[in-house]
Amino acid sequence: MNPLRLVRARPGVPFTVTFDDREIEALPGQTLAAALWSGGVTAWRTTRGAGRPRGVFCGIGVCFDCLVTVDGRPGLRACLVPAAPGAVVRSQSGSGHDE
Amino acid sequence: MSERRPVLAVIGAGPAGLAAALAAAARGVRVMLVDSAAEAGGQFYRQPARGLGARRPEALHHRWRTWERLRAGLDAHLGAGRVTHLTDHHVWCVERDSDRLVVHSLLGPQQTESVAVRADAVLLATGAYEKVLPFPGWTLPGVVTAGGAQALLKGGLALSGGTAVVAGTGPLLLPVATGLAAAGARVVALVESAGPKSLARSARAWAAAPAKLAEGAELAARLALRRVPVMARQVVLEAHGVDRLESVTVAALDGAGRPAPGSRRQLSCDTLAVGHGLLPHTDLADGLGCRLDGPGVWVDAEQRTDVPGVWAAGETTGVGGATLSLAEGHIAGRSAAARLTGRVPDPDGWAPAARARDRLRTFFTALDAAYAAQPVRWAEQVTDETVVCRCEEVPAGAVRDAVGALGAGDLRTVKLLTRAGMGWCQGRMCEPGVAGVAGCALIPARRLLARPVPLGVLADPAEPPAAP
Ligand SMILES: Cc1cc2nc3c(=O)[nH]c(=O)nc-3n(C[C@H](O)[C@H](O)[C@H](O)COP(=O)(O)OP(=O)(O)OC[C@H]3O[C@@H](n4cnc5c(N)ncnc54)[C@H](O)[C@@H]3O)c2cc1C
Ligand code: FES
């Protein structure tokens, strides 16, 4: 069983977003966090202090652990941002404004 | 006097906000239903996104019939123009403007643009978020909140990896474990720190809420069916891994709430869904100056806060599940509609909802007591190196120094000395953990803004349109 089969999903046409130069498949309606998480990617940012990896934590926009850079804009919460076809997603280091 | 219908802004479209919106719209009030999500439903009725084309979304839900009724009611009111649903609106502040109120929201995930709407009264139904107490390894990718795992699954049909442990304490762990298992994850264990005896001792309370008992029993049966072992009176002591979660150490607790010698064992997993209960969202109430009652917003029998024109319902007022949220929302919506249209509210009209509310409050108070009946000395297990404030990366040792060497006696001083709680999330994730490690009382911080707001917006907030 997988989640799509469980709810008998017939998703729209899948598309890809690039994540740090690789392609990740996303389904229409998924947030970036959901697409990355289903694609087996669990970390997409490193912290400002110790440079430790982080990804999704609260899943609902409260914790700010899932920050990511999308199309050049840093500091977006991946759990809130819908995946869009062709989006260029980069993992973010520090505050995202350091590079 | 103008002839216009009074406007009630309902903030939050979960069970509480939906019940309130339907009750108020049916009684002569215009409702602005404002929610940050793209769809109505809140946490309990979170649905797969439309583009996912789920034909059997109920497979991940309970009480689907109730949702269908709410959805049909909302659609009817939307069609008749009695309710306006403002989706993707993140409310960052509610402001008093002479005799009316202005609701300020940031739009969409980008959250750079702010819009304002005016209302005669507001009803806060913003729900709750998950509390997680820190432990070594809790910042590793692959460790998520139990509700977060549920939200990714219900909303995005997303599962990461294949082997999960669900851990912590509280009634939310049961639906999360069954949901993950049903969706195809191998759930190695549900690790619950409360003991089976303390749950049994609350049998009187369970009896007061038979529907809840049936739900609990049904979930437990589903877990058994999927062969998910429930490890009661045990805790996850530590999560291991380098760049992502690889395993957890679990131990049984002795009578004093400490790991029993020789009971440690390691479980391999790539996902840890962990939670220690929920905390009400109270920031909009804080900004309005509403009195709190413990962690939630104080309300009277009509669900009114102590600030005129402001109602609150659902988990904003205290955590107690979807059915209680529905009852509170219904009462709040009827009370607000009556008062806004110049009628005297008639509690007899909502007596069944009031009875349900009182029964469920009693039930959840007893349930909370049962879950908390035996001590868990979790703070002792938090090593000095463990990060307790995730945003500012403050280790437990710094908090202990602030209390010990520097003499901080309360949470506010600890925060000033360590920066714990000053980061992006404004202490929402770390407050209970920092308080526990510091040995201070947990006093909810008063947050004046519910969302981080761009400076440009703060300097020049949007004006609401003139009418209505
Ligand atoms: C992540 C999570 C998952 C959960 N999953 C389950 C589950 O599977 N089963 C279960 O029994 N219980 C679950 N719960 C418990 C759940 O909180 C309640 O059972 C129920 O949903 C509470 O209803 P409510 O209407 O009070 O709040 P909610 O359902 O939480 O609704 C609150 C709504 O307010 C919106 N909101 C909050 N703040 C703002 C703001 N500032 N601006 C605009 N909108 C805002 C939110 O987007 C949300 O739609 C979950 C809780 C959480 C936190
Ligand atoms: S995971 Fe917490 S804000 Fe996105």
Separation of B44 CA from ligand 1 center, angstroms? 6
- CB-based contact B103:B32 (threshold 8 Å): yes
In chain A, the largest separation of any two C-alpha atoms, in whole Å, equals 44
Out of B156, B184, B243, closest to residue A30 by CB: B156
Q: Centre a 10 Å sphere on the Cβ of residue B99 and count the other Cβ atoms it contains.
A: 8
Out of A55, A62, A79, closest to residue B141 by CB: A55
Cis amide linkage into residue B468, ω under 30° from 0: yes
Cα A83 from Cα B371, distance rounded (Å): 39
CB pairs A-B closer than 8 Å: 176
Tell me what percent of the residues of chain B surpass a pLDDT of 90.
75
CB A38 to CB B156 under 8 A?
Answer: yes
> Which residues of chain B have a CB within 8 Å of the CB of A66?
none
Phi, psi of B337 (to 5 degrees): -60, -45
Separation of B146 CA from ligand 2 center, angstroms? 13
Burial pattern B272-294, b for ≥16 Cβ within 10 A else e, equals bbbbbbbbbbbbbbbbbebebee
Q: Provide the β-strand partners of residue B190.
A: B166, B230
Ligand 1: lining residues by beta carbon, under 6 Å: A 60; B 11-17, 34-37, 42-44, 89-91, 125-130, 147-148, 150-151, 172, 175, 278, 281, 314-315, 321-322, 325, 450
B203 pLDDT band, cuts 50/70/90, is very low
Which of B301, B355, B366 shows the shortest CA–CA distance to B327?
B355
Tell me whether residue B189 is exposed, middle or buried, using C-beta atoms within 10 angstroms of its C-beta: 0 to 12, 13 to 18, 19 or more. Answer: buried
Which of A3, A9, A37, A79 shows the shortest CA–CA distance to B60?
A3
> Which residues of chain A have a CB within 8 Å of the CB of B245?
42
Residue-wise pLDDT for B21-40, tens only, equals 999 999 999 999 999 999 99
B393 touches chain A (CB under 8 A): yes
Out of A29, A53, A62, closest to residue B141 by CB: A53
CA B464 to chain centre: 29
Atom of ligand 2 nearest to the CA of A67: 4
| Confidence at residue B84, expressed as pLDDT on a 0 to 100 scale | 98
The rounded radius of gyration (Å) of the Cα atoms in chain A is 14
Q: Residue B247 has which token pair?
A: 């395993």
A13 touches chain B (CB under 8 A): no
Cα A87 from Cα A17, distance rounded (Å): 5
Residue-wise pLDDT for B335-366, tens only, equals 999 999 999 999 999 999 999 999 999 888 88
Cα B153 from Cα B163, distance rounded (Å): 15
B68 pLDDT band, cuts 50/70/90, is very high
Q: Which of A6, A7, A66 to mutate to test the interface with B (most CBs of B within 10 A)?
A: A7
A88 touches chain B (CB under 8 A): no
CB A27 to CB B157 under 8 A?
Answer: yes
Global pTM reads 0.95
Q: Which residues contact B105 (CB under 8 A, 6 or more apart)?
A: B34, B86, B89, B90, B91, B92, B114, B115, B116, B117
Cα B408 from Cα B417, distance rounded (Å): 8
Is A82 strand, coil or helix?
Answer: strand
| Confidence at residue B454, expressed as pLDDT on a 0 to 100 scale | 85
CB B157 to CB A34 under 8 A?
Answer: yes
Q: Which residues, numbered 22 to 61 in chain A, qualify as contacts with chain B under a Cβ-Cβ cut-off of 8 Å?
A: 27-31, 33-35, 37-38, 40, 42-43, 47-50, 52-61
Q: Is 50 exceeded by the pLDDT of residue B204?
A: no
Q: What angle do CA B189, B190, B192 make, to 5 degrees?
A: 135
- CB-based contact B297:B288 (threshold 8 Å): no
The rounded radius of gyration (Å) of the Cα atoms in chain B is 22
The H or E element that residue A75 is part of is: strand A73-77
Residue-wise pLDDT for A54-90, tens only, equals 999 999 999 999 999 999 999 999 999 999 999 999 9
User: Which of the residue ranges A7-21, B95-109, B223-237 would you say has the lowest mean pLDDT?
Assistant: B223-237
Cα B188 from Cα B144, distance rounded (Å): 16
Out of A7, A28, A63, closest to residue B54 by CB: A7
Under DSSP, the state recorded for B351 is H
Q: Is 80 exceeded by the pLDDT of residue B60?
A: yes
ipTM above threshold 0.95:
yes
Residue-wise pLDDT for B370-415, tens only, equals 888 788 999 999 999 999 999 999 999 999 999 988 988 899 999 9
CB B243 to CB A53 under 8 A?
Answer: yes
Å between B155 CA and nearest CA of chain A? 8
For residue B122, the ligand closest to its alpha carbon is: 1
| Confidence at residue A98, expressed as pLDDT on a 0 to 100 scale | 61
